[in-house]
Amino acid sequence: MSTTARSQDLFARAQRVTPGGVNSPVRAFQAVGGTPRFIHSAKGAILTDVDGNEYVDMIGSWGPMILGHAHPQVLDAVQRAAARGFSFGTPGENEVVLAEEIVARVAPVEQVRLVNSGTEATMSAIRLARGFTGRSKIVKFAGCYHGHVDALLAAAGSGLATFALPDSPGVTGAESGDTIVVDYNDQDALRAVFAEHGPQIAAVITEACPGNMGIVPPLDGFTQLIRRLTREAGALMISDEVMTGFRVSDTGWYGYESARDGYPDGPADLFTFGKVMGGGFPAAAFGGRADVMGHLAPAGPVYQAGTLSGNPVATAAGIETLRLTRETDVYTHLEAAADRLRPEISAALSAAGVAHTIQSAGSMFSVFFTRGTDGRVRNYEDARGQDSAAYSAFFTSMLESGVHLPPSAFEVWFLSLAHTPEVLDRVVEALPKAARAAAAAQGSAASATADRGGLA
Ligand SMILES: *Cc1c(COP(=O)(O)O)cnc(C)c1O
């Protein structure tokens, strides 16, 4: 077996100076066991760690690297931008170009504000919704992740439609107490919440298509019901497209679903974006109806700001990445790659007798190590029925075969333009052995610590 000595050494050093040795919890491998690989470089679909081991990358930085790593044209755009200066603290042309691109792609988005992370985007969208409506309550869905915003680190209390409890120490009851957590895809529960609290609800925030508990698509009519109920109650609908935006289609989930089902009651009022639109750099955005966005400072009274917001280098990466998604027809490529992998994964797991369900949002898919309810994972409770020991064994075998899956069973497998048929062959070849490892581990008590699915 290949050595991981340098990763182990770095992880030991990291743990001395950084809590848990990482700067975002899922990276620590707690859900799968073992030592996280410290990456030295990445090119196309391949990660190379500090010990010189190569892996097919199925994380893609959790979504941004849709063109593959260090795409030459994006690299060139970044280098040219950096040569002109790193940050000005005054306006620049790139900010206008990136905003225009988002507004041109996503029809309901008339104005955007650029920020640095998806967390900032959802946090600011919620503040804006509260400022616009003059109301305080926010509805979110269990298992949907919107970054580590205090008000959204909330877990459902017991019983239907109770007010949320803090989901992390450090979040106060006051911060989570205006949040109502509802099971995803539960139409009756959502109706009940609006019947009881409608006039106090500022907004419902939802992942456009949930991907942070694994992919759990909205069942027929669910998105449309959110829209109808918010409109009737005078509340806003916030569609969080940080993960899906510009990844499932060039207009994100909005374009994907509206082309398929239509939105008879109209689109969301506000949208949040991140990941792909930053091309691997810290850039994110929130936007939507001009009359709502007009409440944002300095046009209006709702405060929001950022020293590095609209950073010239980050926006250069985003602009070039978005431009290339069109030029390369990346969405067709990704869907073909997903169409190749999904049946291979399913066949390998079935042959080994491993219970699983694969669910998709366009080319984004996730492999649940559970059959769900009647073969379908509809909500967080279904997703949490996963066999984490089986996933851990599967993940570890794939890693040893040179395929770096997400180190949590609750995450999406991300593809890129650089995932060519030859790269996918390497994934397919590793599957049978990993499936047998998963079968052997099935049902055994997970050695890994509890996986807080979705909390990246
Ligand atoms: C990743 C993600 C976020 C948070 O974005 P960060 O840049 O990590 O703060 C918010 N919402 C969704 C749907 C995400 O997938």
Residue 428 has pLDDT above 50, yes or no: yes
Q: Sorting pLDDT into bands at 50, 70 and 90, what band is 175?
A: confident
Residue 322 has pLDDT above 90, yes or no: yes
What is the predicted pLDDT for the residue at 341?
A: 98
Q: Which residues of 196-228 are buried (b: 16+ CB within 10 A; e: fewer)?
A: ebbeebbbbbbbbbbbbbbbbbbeeebbbbbbb
Please calculate the CA angle 408-415-69 and round it to the nearest 5 degrees.
Answer: 100
- Ligand 1 centroid from CA 119, angstroms: 6
User: Contact at 8 Å (CB) between 137 and 255?
Assistant: no
Q: Is 240 a catalytic residue?
A: yes
What is the predicted pLDDT for the residue at 2?
A: 77
pLDDT, one tens digit per residue, over 60-112 is 999 999 999 999 999 999 999 999 999 999 999 999 999 999 999 999 999 99
Structure tokens at 1: 């077996």
Residue 325 has pLDDT above 80, yes or no: yes
Of the chain, the end-to-end C-alpha distance in Å amounts to 29
Atom of ligand 1 nearest to the CA of 122: 10
Atom of ligand 1 nearest to the CA of 62: 1
Q: Is 275 a catalytic residue?
A: yes
Across 38-52, 182-196, 368-382, 435-449, least confident range:
435-449
Strand order in the sheet with 111-115: 111-115, 284-288, 270-273, 236-240, 201-207, 137-141, 179-182
pLDDT, one tens digit per residue, over 327-381 is 999 999 999 999 999 999 999 999 999 999 999 999 999 999 999 998 999 999 9
Structure tokens at 126: 């919620």
What is the predicted pLDDT for the residue at 167?
A: 85
Reported as type and span, the H/E element at residue 182 is: strand 179-182
Reported as type and span, the H/E element at residue 205 is: strand 201-207
What is the predicted pLDDT for the residue at 173?
A: 86
Residue 162 has pLDDT above 70, yes or no: no
Residue 161 has pLDDT above 70, yes or no: no
Is any atom of ligand 1 closer than 6 Å to the C-beta of 243?
Answer: yes
Selected catalytic residue, list 49, 183, 186, 240: 240
- Tell how strand 201-207 and strand 236-240 pair up: parallel
How far apart, in whole angstroms, are the C-alpha atoms of residue 421 and residue 389?
30
Please calculate the CA angle 431-456-140 and round it to the nearest 5 degrees.
Answer: 115
pTM of the model: 0.96
Is any atom of ligand 1 closer than 6 Å to the C-beta of 146?
Answer: yes
- Ligand 1 centroid from CA 148, angstroms: 8
Alpha helices in 54-92 (DSSP H): 72-83
Residue 128 has pLDDT above 70, yes or no: yes
Give Cβ neighbours of residue 86 (< 8 Å, ≥ 6 apart): 311, 312, 313
What is the predicted pLDDT for the residue at 449?
A: 40
Is any atom of ligand 1 closer than 6 Å to the C-beta of 274?
Answer: yes
Select from 235, 307, 297, 246 the least CA-distant residue to 275.
246
Sequence letter at residue 421: P
Is any atom of ligand 1 closer than 6 Å to the C-beta of 212?
Answer: yes
Is any atom of ligand 1 closer than 6 Å to the C-beta of 413?
Answer: no
- Ligand 1 centroid from CA 52, angstroms: 30
Q: What is the mean pLDDT of residues 157-179?
A: 78
Answer positive or negative: Cα dihedral of 28, 360, 106, 65: positive
- Ligand 1 centroid from CA 68, angstroms: 19
- Tell how strand 270-273 and strand 284-288 pair up: antiparallel
Residue 160 has pLDDT above 80, yes or no: no
Select from 293, 344, 370 the least CA-distant residue to 131.
293
How far apart, in whole angstroms, are the C-alpha atoms of residue 187 and residue 48?
46
Q: Sorting pLDDT into bands at 50, 70 and 90, what band is 288?
A: very high
Main-chain dihedrals φ then ψ at residue 112, nearest 5 degrees: -130, 160
DSSP lists the bridge partners of residue 403 as 56
User: Contact at 8 Å (CB) between 263 and 293?
Assistant: no
Which position has the higher pLDDT, 416 or 452? Answer: 416
Q: Sorting pLDDT into bands at 50, 70 and 90, what band is 453?
A: very low
Residue recorded with tokens 């040219």: 80
pLDDT, one tens digit per residue, over 368-390 is 999 999 899 999 999 999 999 99
* Complete DSSP assignment for 373-410: BTTB--SHHHHTT--HHHHHHHHHHHHHTTEE--SSTT
Sequence letter at residue 153: L
Q: Sorting pLDDT into bands at 50, 70 and 90, what band is 157?
A: low
Which position has the higher pLDDT, 449 or 234? Answer: 234
Residue 454 has pLDDT above 70, yes or no: no
